[in-house]
Structure 1
Amino acid sequence: MTMTMKDLVADARSRVGAVSPQEAEDAVRRGDLILDVREPAELEKDGRIAGALHIPRGILETRADATAQTAEARLTEARGSARVHVLCASGGRAALAADTLQRMGYDAALIEGGLGGWKSAGLPVES
């Protein structure tokens, strides 16, 4: 069966939990991690969440694999000890990324509404 991008996102969302932006912000205070999978230009244009780890979706697997030379310690250290709350612009890439992370052994969830939802909730964004 051929799938569209919309189908792939819906499939990923069926396996991935979601949290509100406020729940994600509260969880960071308890030691969880926010992972922003947007492209660098999006961060420059739309702002970023203070303290969030930025890894573009296109290279996530190379940074999430603890056995790779390109592994990102902040991410790999979260496996087994903290939840990774994934954010993109609106939620599609975050769902795909959270699904991938779960398959790699992480406790991952997407942040509902992405950065737009974060801003709508009145949570801080740096420029």
Structure 2
Amino acid sequence: MKTKIGYKQLLKEAEKNITTLEVEEALALFKEGKAKFMDLRDIREIERDGYISGSFHCPRGMLEFWVDQESPYHKPIFSEPHYFVFYCAGGWRSALATQTAQMMGLSPVAHIRGGFRAWREKECPIDGYKQK
């Protein structure tokens, strides 16, 4: 059975409707303390690679449940007045998560183009990484 729409099309459609930040733009928000960075990666990725300093871990699979105030799993951080910047390893999960969060009424919200990989390549602040 051929899928009607694949991940590439989903990403392309999401990118049309969301705010995508270049690393430099995200870093400026980070330095100014004007955004809450939300890490969507799996805990194993975080333990292996570290995380953006001060970020909040929100596993991608829990996003909808944590954002929705009517959910028994709602996290209060999503009711606070933040500029939410989502990131994952490479920017795919975060693009789709940004679109979903935006559709659920979370605002303002954006994601980092290239994700944590791009952040790290630009030598931006990270915690938790222990070079082997």
Counterpart-to-counterpart distance in 2, 1:76 and 1:117: 29
**1:31 Cα deviation (Å)?**
3.3
The answer as to 2:12 corresponding to 1:10 is: yes
AA of the residue aligned to 1:62: F
**1:99 Cα deviation (Å)?**
0.1
Tell me the TM-score normalized by structure 1: 0.89
> C-alpha deviations, 1:18-39, integer Å up to 9, x for none?
1122322332434321111111
- Please list every run of at least 4 consecutive aligned residues from structure 1 whose deviation after the TM superposition is greater than 3 angstroms: none
Counterpart-to-counterpart distance in 1, 2:35 and 2:125: 17
RMSD: 1.5
Where does structure 2 lack aligned partners over 5 or more consecutive residues?
Answer: none
Question: How many residues are matched?
Answer: 124
Match of 1:52 among 46, 51, 55: 55
The within-5 A match list for 1:102-121 is 102-106=102-106, 107-121=108-122
CA gap of 1:31–1:73, structure 2 versus 1, over 3 A, is farther
Counterpart-to-counterpart distance in 2, 1:53 and 1:96: 18
Tell me the TM-score normalized by structure 2: 0.86
Counterpart-to-counterpart distance in 1, 2:33 and 2:54: 14
Counterpart-to-counterpart distance in 1, 2:121 and 2:66: 30
